[in-house]
Amino acid sequence: MLKAHGASPVLNLIRYYEKDDSYPFFPTDVYSFHVDRSPVPTDTFLCTYYGESSELLPNSQAEQKVLVPEIRDELKKIYRGAEDEFESFLSEHFFDLHYRAKPMANPISAGLGHLWRLAVDHPESKVLPCVHRAPMEKSGEYRLLMIC
């Protein structure tokens, strides 16, 4: 059905994702709450068929990490460019796509067999992008995931 609407769904058998340890205080991998970005209008479709499912976080329960003063200060320590290009640096390295849960946040499990349409950050978007993350896999267990 997704193909009939011009989408390109892909089934993935995932054992694990690569973890990002480039900046220990700020991982930019899929295990961190994040949003997807596209230069063109689109959505992400996601469905977990087996294994641990993704988590979604209501926007009101999330805060963009680059706006947290102590995290922003750490990012400024690693940035070596002109002050007026700092925001571009955050975007180029995907720091601006990552969020943290506010205290008392209640992530929502995407569950198994449910097709989710996640809003993506793009120039024409009329809604906020969906904050989500991949689960930490259990040792020796795979995930069967459809994404497009």
Which residue, among 131, 112, 132, 116, has the nearest Cα to 48 in the 3D structure? Answer: 112
β-strand 10-14 against 108-109: which pairing, if any?
unpaired
Q: Could you tell me the pLDDT band of residue 147, with boundaries at 50, 70 and 90? A: very high
| Domain range enclosing 142 | 3-62+105-147
Residue 148 CB partners (closer than 8 Å, separation 6+) = 2, 7, 8, 9, 10, 44, 45
Model pTM score: 0.91
Query: What pLDDT does 16 receive?
Result: 86
- Residue 59 pLDDT grade (very low, low, confident, very high; cuts 50, 70, 90): very high
How much is the pLDDT for 58? 98
Is residue 85 situated within a structural domain?
Answer: no
**133 in a domain, yes or no?**
yes
pLDDT at 44: 94
> Pairing state of beta strands 62-64 and 99-101?
antiparallel
Q: Residue 57: pLDDT above 90?
A: yes
Structure tokens at 88: 């571009």
Classify residue 76: in a domain, yes or no: no
Helix, strand, coil distribution of the chain in percent, nearest 5: 20, 25, 50
Q: CATH number of the domain at 46, please.
A: 2.60.120
Residue 79 included in any domain: no
Mean of all residue pLDDT scores within the chain: 94
- Res 34: pLDDT: 97
Answer yes or no: is 127 within a domain. yes
Average of per-residue pLDDT across 98-123: 96
Residue 78 domain-assigned (yes or no) = no
Taking the C-alpha atoms of residue 111 and residue 78, their distance in angstroms, rounded to an integer, is 38
pLDDT at 23 over 90: no
Number of domains in the chain: 1
In the predicted structure, residue 47 carries a pLDDT above the cut 90: yes
Find the angle CA(58)-CA(60)-CA(64) to the nearest 5 degrees.
95
Q: Is residue 58 part of a domain?
A: yes
φ and ψ at residue 110, rounded to 5 degrees: -75, -15
Tokens of 90: 């955050």
Q: Residue 132: exposed, middle, or buried by beta-carbon count in 10 A (0-12, 13-18, 19+)? A: buried
